[in-house]
Amino acid sequence: MVIGREKYNFTLLLILGILTVGIALLVTNIMCAYDLERAGKAKGEETRVDNLGAIVLLLEIASLIIGFLSGGLAFIVSFGLGVYATWFVQKNLNHEAGASPV
């Protein structure tokens, strides 16, 4: 419970992710980023990323725009941005849990 709330229900997220073709997982990723940002501010962490939620939100929006504009290479780039946003959240989640330095 690093972010101050219970873990999201994995089964529900998986089902929603499949039914919404990943949009629910994208939204959950953004919600986790804002939760981590708020938790870091509450703890007074000096090494936290100040705008984690906004950075992840912009990466996810960019990945959607690029993905919808065209296929092929743009799809690969948008996938990469989405993966980077998820990695960024996970890195900060690990830092909050004390697993690795940021």
Dump pLDDT digits (tens) for 67-84.
777 666 777 777 788 888
Torsional class of 88: left (φ above 0), alpha (ψ -120 to 50), beta (otherwise): alpha
pLDDT at residue 1 in the model: 46
- Alpha-carbon distance of 16 to 68, in angstroms, equals 21
Place of tokens 């919404």: 20
User: pLDDT exceeding 90 applies to what percent of the chain?
Assistant: 5
Q: Sign of the C-alpha dihedral, residues 32, 33, 38, 44?
A: positive
Dump pLDDT digits (tens) for 81-91.
888 888 888 88
Dump pLDDT digits (tens) for 4-18.
556 677 788 788 888
- Taking CA atoms, 61 is separated from 6, 12, 25, in Å, by 26, 23, 13
Determine the length of the chain: 102
- Alpha-carbon distance of 20 to 30, in angstroms, equals 16
Domain ranges of the chain: 10-97
* pLDDT at residue 2 tops 60: no
Q: Indicate the pTM of the whole model.
A: 0.70
